Amino acid sequence: MTSLPPVNTLSHLPEDELAKVLDLLFEPSPPLHALSLPVLRSTVFPTYDILIVAVNAQLSALAQSDDPKDIEKLSEILCSHPRLGEKKVESEQSRAEQAQLQKGAEEEKEQLAALNREYEEKFPGLRYVVFVNGRARPVIMENMRARIGRGDIKAERQEAIQAMCDIANDRASKMQK
C-alpha cells in the first residue's frame, strides 16, 4: 500500500505531491485540488485527522452555500467517488474498500446497480457515498433505500461529506509512515 508523507511536511511539498495526498485520502478530484491545495500549502497540520476536519469544513461550507456554482463544485467532488459495486474502480484504495461488495449473488449486484441508478435519479448531481467499513452488501443496500426514502438532498450532501471524511480518516490511519 502507498504511504503518506509526514503530515507536518505537507506545506513544503510541491503542488503535484500535495494533490497526490488529497487523491490518496479522498479520490482524484481537480475541484477538490482547487479548493483544498491553498489550505494545505499555507497550513501546518499536527495530524491527518485535523487536515481532514479542515477539508470537511470546506466541503460543508460549499454544501451550505446558496450559490449554484458552489453546489456544482461540491457535486463534482462527491462524484469523484466510484459507484458502489462497480466493476471498474480506479483507485486502489476504493477497490480494497469495496471488495466485500463484489462478493455475493449476481442478483444482489444487479439490485445494487439499480439502487445506484435510483439514488442518482432522486438526487441529481450526487453519487451515493458511504463508508463501507466491511459491511455486507445487504446492509449497504438497506442504507441506500433509507437515504433514498428520506429524500432530503441537503442531508445527503452532508452524509456524503461525512462519509468521504470517514473514508479519508480510515485511509490515513492505514497509510501513515
pLDDT in tens, 24-60: 999 999 999 999 999 999 999 999 999 999 999 999 9
pLDDT of residue 17: 96
Let me know: does 137 contact 110? Beta carbons within 8 Å: no
User: Which CATH code, of 3.40.50.280, 1.10.260.40, 1.10.3330.10, 3.90.1720.10, is assigned to 7-175?
Assistant: 1.10.3330.10
CA distances to 40, 76, 86, 142 from 112, in Å: 36, 22, 9, 10
> What type of residue is 37?
L
**Model-wide pTM > 0.85:** yes
Mean pLDDT of 110-121: 93
For residue 129 the three cell numbers come to: 457515498
Q: Determine the pLDDT at residue 28.
A: 95
What is the percentage of the chain residues whose pLDDT exceeds 70? 88
What does the pLDDT look like over 86-115, one tens digit per residue?
Answer: 755 455 655 554 545 555 677 888 898 999
Amino acid identity, residue 152?
A: D
Total Cβ atoms within 10 A of residue 26: 25
The continuous run of DSSP H or E covering 171 comes out as: helix 153-175
Q: Is the pLDDT of residue 144 over 90?
A: yes
Is residue 67 helix, strand or coil? coil
